[in-house]
Chain A
Amino acid sequence: MNPVDKRRRDFLGQAAVAAGAMIAPGVFLYDYAKAAAPATPPAGPPATSGPVSAKVRWGMLIDTTKCASGCRECVDACNRENGLPGTTRPTDSQWIRKVDLKDLRSGATLSAPVMCQHCAEPPCVDVCPTGASFKRADGIVLVDRHTCIGCRYCMMACPYKARSFVHEPTTGQKTEVPRGKGCVEACTLCVQRVDRGGRPACAESCEAAGHGAILFGDLNDPQSEISKRIRSVATTQLRADLRTDNGVRYQGL
């Protein structure tokens, strides 16, 4: 409530009480005495994370040589973690998808997951008319559904087809992943896990399945596993010519 409104309300409330006290002292004074002694509220739980800082930049390295064709562990883990229905209808959201590529000349094939690339210069943020599409200080690109009007301009702007529009009414949402009809959504890099010091569900499930093709870490920390790998092997960003400086990198493309 705006402080002026609050003061005005308090003044009017007190004026009413005073007027009442002059007319019917017994009843009103009793209520006033009760109202004047509010209990002290307890403090909320201490915040365990945030505010996020720009010292960190979260990113992923996907090793296509370890990614198995036909394996959908990461996709299923993403659907489970975020309460997505999975692609049962053509209009269902898809935060991560498996892409199989074949070089027609040599016959070489490779498979890799593609999701939001968490660009440093995200086109989806540039075009958003309401400011709903934004980049957090730690490099994670998100949609604030409270301000998203569902215009889908960001979906047009994204070079990676990473975003989906929710066409159908939703049920069975997870507590930390609210989602509803009429908003655009995409991979959040499992922000609810990252904020508690965890890593995305896809990276965890890929390792559990024995592939270990997805490495998650801080691109700004030179001592992190991901930074060391990026220094020692050749990696590429998808559509690097667009100079969006993706947080997700690929090895063996």
Chain B
Amino acid sequence: MAAFRLAARAAAALLAAALALAAGPVAVAAGPKLDAPRSGPCVEDPKLMRRSHMEFLKHDRDDTVRRGVRPAKHSLAGCVSCHASRADDSVLGSDTHFCQGCHVYAAVKLDCFECHTPKARPAAVASAAGEPLR
């Protein structure tokens, strides 16, 4: 009898999980509310970027640090210069700030900015360094 009750409970849990999964895509479609970028299209297709930006950054950081390739196509400085908030020039600070907002939403730890600055450079300096204009 106890075994039967356990199985019933497990079936109920499975059903609940299936319902939650079915409801999932609706929540995903809503997404986090983020600051708009400062200039035109991203260096890659946004769908690809959402999935693989960390891989691009990891690849190009080695090119820059070890082989001196500047500016790299996928650079964190490039992300920051385009996605920094117009209010405080930062990608961190609240859940509408670009990097923080999405990482909080996706529950993924963000540790780039323990060393890198989350602040965008003044426009003149950034354009001299070859970053996209804003």
Seen from chain A, the residues whose Cβ lies within 8 Å of a Cβ on chain B are: 1, 35, 38-52, 134, 136-138, 142, 144-146, 170, 172-176, 178-181, 183, 191-192, 195-196
Point out the residues of chain B lying under 8 angstroms from A49, CB to CB: 68-70
Contact A138 B77 (CB under 8 A): no
Decide: A136 and B74 in contact? CB cutoff 8 A.
no
**Chain B contacts for A174, CB-based, 8 A:** 117
Chain B residues with CB below 8 A from A178, complex form: 115-117
> At the interface with chain A, which of B7-15, B30-38, B42-50, B99-107?
B42-50
User: If A1-B55, A178-B115, A178-B116 touch, does A48 touch B70 (CB 8 Å cutoff)?
Assistant: yes
**A45 and B132: CB pair below 8 A?**
yes
Contact A51 B63 (CB under 8 A): yes
**Judging by beta carbons under 8 Å apart, are A45 and B71 in contact?**
yes
Which residues of chain B (77-134) have a CB below 8 Å from chain A? 77-78, 80, 114-117, 119, 121, 125-126, 129-132
Given A1-B55, A176-B77, check contact A191 B68 (CB 8 Å).
Answer: yes
Most buried by B among A44, A48, A170, A195: A44
Kindly state the separation between the CA atoms of A196 and B64 in the bound complex, as whole angstroms. Answer: 13
Q: Are B61 and A146 in contact (CB under 8 A)?
A: yes
Q: Separation in Å of the A32 CB from the closest CB of chain B?
A: 13
Taking a contact as CB atoms under 8 Å apart, the answer to whether A176 and B129 are in contact is yes
B71 engages A48 (CB within 8 Å): yes
Pairwise interchain contact A41-B71, C-beta atoms closer than 8 A: no
Q: How many whole Å from B101's CB to the nearest CB in chain A? A: 21
* Complex interface: chain B residues within 8 A of A52 (CB): 67-68
| A35 cross-chain contacts in B, Cβ below 8 A | 47
Partner of A144, one of B43, B65, B119: B65
The answer to whether A44 and B117 touch across the interface, beta carbons within 8 angstroms, is no
Contacts of A46 in B (CB 8 A): 130
> Contacts of A176 on B, CB cut-off 8 Å?
77, 129
Contact call B68/A48, Cβ cutoff below 8 A:
no
Residue of A nearest to B67 (CB): A51
Q: Which 7 A-B pairs have the closest CB atoms?
A: A44-B73, A180-B115, A50-B69, A50-B68, A51-B67, A52-B68, A178-B115
